[in-house]
Each structure stands twice: as C-alpha cells, then as structure tokens.
C-alpha cells in the first residue's frame, strides 16, 4: 500500500497512527466526517495544479530520462505519490467537471470534451443543454449528445470552500462552458484565462488566432512573445502573494501540454541535443519544462509567504498523454482511449511537515479531490446530491487505507477508430465494455499493466461480476447510453480537445 510503511510493527504502527490522528484533530480540528468549519487561522491553504494531456511517465520521478522536471520531482520526493492515480475521464472536460464537483461526469451529461462556439455550427445556440441523440454516417449506434456546459446548479469546490471563508482563484484552462458559465459564475473570485477553449490559439502573447478568429478570454496581452505557461505562473504567484493572509483555494489549470505543440525556441534547442528514449519530442519536452518552471515559482512563492507548512498542493493531469505528442509506455495507448495510457495520470500530494514522503498504490480518482479538501477545511459535503468521491485524508495524514471500492469511466461516443465504452476497475481487475459489438475485455493490472492479455474468454464469471457492477453504477448515475435508434439528430465527428 505504502512503499515506506512498516507493516510488521503493527502495535507501534497503531500507536503512531492514533497519536497522529489525535494530533490532526488538535491542530486542524478535523472530525471523522466534516461537520463544521475550522477557525480561519487554522485552515489549510490549497493549490491544485492540473496539467492538460500530461502522460503518466512524462516526468522524471515517473521514470523519464528525457523530460527534465526537477521542481516537480522535488515535490514528488517530498510528498505522497499515487502510482494508481486516475483522471475521471480519458478526455478533458469530464475530468474538469469531476474536479469541480466530486461527481462522476456521467451524472452531468459531460462525457466528452465541450465544443467552443466556433466549433458547434448550429448545435446549442440556446441556453439549454442538449438531451437528444446523434447519428454519425456509417456508425451503428446513436450516441447521446454531449452537454455544452456545466449547469449552475452544480456545487463546485470553490463554492463549497467559500462557505468557510476561502478566497478562490482559477488560472488557465476552464473548458466547462461559455461566458455565462465561466469560473466567476461558479464561485471563483478571480478568473484569469478561463473560458470555453479546449486549447490555446497560440502559446505566445497575444494568444490569438486569426483563422478562425478566437482568443483566450480574461487574459489581456501583456508582453508580445511572452510564453503562456510563464504568464500563468506569474498570475499564480501574484494570487498567492495577494491572498497570503487569508486561506485560499487556487487552481492553476495549465493549457500546456495540449496541442498546438509550441515552446520557447531556446529550450527546444537544448532538448534537440539530449539523448532520447521512447520519449523523443523536443518541443513537447520543452513544454513540460515550462510547466516544471511554473511549479518551481509556485513553491518559492509559498515559501516566501511563509505558507509552506500550511499548504496542500495537488499535482495531476486531466487525462493521459496524447499519442503522437508523447509515448505512454509501459501503459497501453493514450488520451481518449479506455486503456491505462488514456486514464492513468501523475498524482502527487505535497504538504511539507504534514504528509510523509512515500509511494502509495491505492487507486484514487479526480472525484476524490473535493471531499478531501472539504474535510480538511471542515466543510460539510452537500446533502442534497450524491458526491461520488471519498476523502483521501486517511491516506494523506494517517497512512490508513480506504475501504475497497470500484472506480468507473463512461464514454458513450465515437471518435475515429474508437467505439463507445464504459470501464470498471475493482481491485486489480479492470473490465472494458464496448457497446457496438457488445463485447468485454478483462485485464489483471497487477500482472499485466500493459493490458496485453485479454482474459475475458477465460474468466466468464469475473466478467459477469464486473459487468453487473458496471450496469448497476450506470443506472445509479443515470448515465446516457448508446442505442440502436436512427431517428436522431445528424452530427459529425471531431478531434478531441
């Protein structure tokens, strides 16, 4: 479970755990289940760094010898690394919904990336999310139309923490709807760069495209040629310094390392001189280095403001690495796909003096972020809706495990050679159900991380067990499923964002 945990000394471990739990309760006033706000002077600060399309092995501490990430490696070595950390989806918008709400994306109808206005044509020109189905030429199944925005009725992590007096800030990519659904309409005091775009028109100031004409909202040009990730880092540092005297929740959602692949030329040139491995793209490597520089600036700002010991920083990605930009080996495939390369991502929790350095193999997901921060802040979860995630506080502060639970993914759409699918992971077992052919694939991830040996034909009882678990879950979250029905609205395929 924990790579540096002494399981043999059960008595000593129990005593240490008990003392730690007592200390946590005295210092933070944390109940077993959060029921009331902690006094403001005792509340922790929160920083979430979400990178776009960063693969599981795209960092030094995860095994890459080509990508150079000393600042991220440092927080990983000082913090808790979740080797079975997952994004809630294989594409970005659903994962971002899960981060904001602690809920499975299937509950919202956001099961694919959300199209910007210039990408929609005539779809969704009203104020309501679509509820119909679409048929693509040559495809067997009618698929549910993806939502166009996160509904205001959803309760975000920012809205939850504001109840406890937190300042809230969003910097970078949002991708959960248009102007009426930007971060400032969902509990964020500050929104810098958050809009409806799935990728930047350009990574260089003024961050604008002429054909089609679009630009990043809420990010006025500052210095011609300035790199976007550097700008995001500067805005994050400014937010930390401005709000250092009040507990805050800050999320830095980098547009990097999403396409278009653009980086600072001098950094690219350095990587052209480096020995390559299965990682060998110098532009992509330079983009990752800029993200690493940003993490270094954020860490220094926290240190300069005296917030190192009071801040929990979470570092993760919204989905796996994009094939063509990077190579996710030993994981199979990449972004958009149901295999581990599409959904398993880097996950680090860093809190100096509070979280002991270790590696943990307990499976966790983006849905767990909101309940974790809520418990640490002493804020009760909403009682008028299901929250699917669980608090990670027992793992982070007490080195305890979690009750066994399944994790789920749902993508009822077509894309290229990919047909609609749903996934369940329970323990070491992972089942992928493909809807078009009504077939299943079964893998034991402990023995076959690369998902090369499909065991479905050999283990029909395990398939039936996991299918029943998946079917029950899809019913509980009221997931929209593909169906054989052709009286639907025509649509068209598009590339993932």
Of the candidates 306, 288, 297, 188, the residue with the CA atom closest to the CA atom of residue 245 = 306
Q: Look at residues 386, 411, 425, 408 and name the one whose alpha carbon lies nearest to residue 481.
A: 411
Tokens of 429: 């077992």
d(CA 378, CA 122): 45
Q: How far apart are CA 387 and CA 462, in angstroms?
A: 28
- Match 């540096």 to its residue by tokens: 4
What local confidence, expressed as pLDDT, does residue 115 receive? 83
CA 214, CA 178: separation in Å to the nearest integer? 13
Cα 440 from Cα 422, distance rounded (Å): 10
Q: Measure the CA–CA gap between 168 and 149, rounded to whole angstroms.
A: 21
What confidence score (pLDDT) does residue 4 get?
A: 52
Cross-strand pairs, 316: 50, 347
Cβ neighbours of 265 (radius 10 Å): 9
Q: Which residues of 282-295 are buried (b: 16+ CB within 10 A; e: fewer)?
A: bbbbbbbbbbbbbb
pLDDT in tens, the chain (497 residues): 766 533 333 333 333 433 443 343 433 433 333 333 333 458 999 999 999 999 999 999 999 999 999 999 999 999 999 999 999 999 999 999 999 999 999 999 999 999 876 665 555 555 789 989 999 888 999 999 999 999 999 999 999 999 999 999 999 999 999 999 999 999 999 999 999 999 999 999 999 988 777 889 899 999 999 999 999 999 999 999 999 999 999 999 999 999 999 999 999 999 999 999 999 999 999 999 999 999 999 999 999 999 999 999 999 999 999 999 999 999 999 999 999 999 999 999 999 999 999 999 999 999 999 999 999 999 999 999 999 999 999 999 998 999 999 999 999 999 989 999 999 999 999 999 999 999 999 999 999 999 999 999 999 999 999 999 999 999 999 999 999 865 444 444 444 44
Distance from C-alpha of 1 to C-alpha of 400, rounded to nearest angstrom: 9
pLDDT tens profile 182-205: 999 999 999 999 999 999 999 999
pLDDT (0 to 100) of residue 485: 67
Residue 19 pLDDT: 40
- What local confidence, expressed as pLDDT, does residue 127 receive? 74
User: If you search the block for the tokens 């992928």, which residue do you land on?
Assistant: 432
The strand pairing partners of 483, in sequence order, are: 142
pLDDT value of position 117 = 66
Report pLDDT digits (tens) over 355-378.
Answer: 999 999 999 999 999 999 999 999
Q: Measure CA of the first residue to CA of the last residue in the chain; give whole Å.
A: 34
Q: How far apart are CA 470 and CA 130, in angstroms?
A: 25
Report the distance separating Cα 38 and Cα 30, nearest Å. Answer: 8
Q: Which residues are tagged catalytic? A: 92, 175
């Amino acid at each position: 479970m924990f790579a540096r945990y002494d399981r043999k000394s059960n008595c000593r471990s129990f005593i240490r755990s008990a003392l730690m739990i007592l200390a946590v309760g005295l210092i933070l006033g944390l109940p077993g289940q959060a029921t009331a706000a902690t006094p403001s002077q005792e509340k922790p600060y929160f920083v979430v760094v979400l990178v776009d399309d960063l693969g599981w092995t795209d960092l030094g501490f995860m095994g890459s010898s080509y990508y150079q990430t000393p600042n991220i490696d440092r927080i990983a070595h000082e913090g808790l690394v979740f080797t079975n950390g997952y994004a809630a989806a294989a594409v970005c918008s659903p994962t971002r919904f899960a981060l904001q709400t602690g809920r499975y994306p299937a509950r919202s109808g956001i099961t694919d990336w959300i199209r910007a206005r210039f990408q929609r044509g005539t779809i969704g020109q009203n104020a309501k999310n679509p509820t119909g189905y679409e048929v693509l030429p040559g495809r067997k199944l009618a698929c549910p139309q993806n939502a166009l925005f996160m509904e205001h009725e959803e309760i975000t992590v920012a809205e939850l923490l504001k109840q406890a007096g937190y300042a809230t800030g969003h910097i970078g990519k949002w991708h959960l709807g248009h102007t009426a659904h930007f971060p400032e309409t969902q509990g964020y005091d500050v929104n810098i760069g958050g809009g409806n775009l799935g990728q930047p028109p350009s990574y260089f100031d003024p961050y604008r495209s002429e054909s089609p004409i679009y630009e990043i909202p809420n990010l006025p040009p500052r210095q011609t040629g300035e790199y976007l990730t550097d700008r995001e880092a500067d805005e994050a540092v400014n937010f930390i310094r401005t709000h250092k005297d009040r507990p805050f929740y800050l999320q830095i959602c980098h547009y990097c390392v999403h396409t278009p692949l653009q980086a600072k030329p001098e950094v690219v040139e350095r990587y052209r001189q480096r020995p390559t491995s299965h990682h060998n793209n110098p532009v992509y490597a330079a983009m990752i280095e800029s993200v690493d520089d940003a993490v270094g600036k954020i860490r220094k700002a926290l240190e300069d403001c005296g917030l190192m010991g009071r801040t929990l920083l979470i570092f993760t990605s919204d989905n796996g690495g994009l094939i063509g930009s990077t190579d996710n080996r030993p994981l199979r495939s990449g972004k958009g796909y149901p295999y581990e390369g599409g959904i398993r991502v880097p996950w680090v929790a860093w809190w100096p003096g509070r979280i002991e350095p270790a590696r943990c193999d307990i499976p966790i997901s983006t849905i767990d972020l909101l309940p974790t921060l809520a418990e640490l802040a002493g804020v009760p979860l909403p009682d008028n809706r299901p929250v699917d995630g669980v608090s990670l506080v027992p793992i982070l502060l007490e080195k305890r495990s979690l009750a066994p639970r399944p994790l789920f993914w749902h993508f009822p759409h077509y894309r290229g050679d990919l047909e609609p699918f749903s996934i369940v992971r329970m323990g070491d077992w992972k089942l992928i159900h493909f809807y078009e052919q009504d077939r299943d694939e079964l893998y034991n991830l402990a023995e076959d991380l690369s998902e090369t040996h499909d065991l479905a034909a050999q283990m029909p009882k395990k398939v039936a067990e996991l299918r029943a678990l998946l079917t029950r879950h899809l019913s509980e979250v009221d997931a929209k499923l593909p169906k054989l029905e052709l009286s639907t609205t025509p649509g068209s395929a598009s590339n993932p964002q």
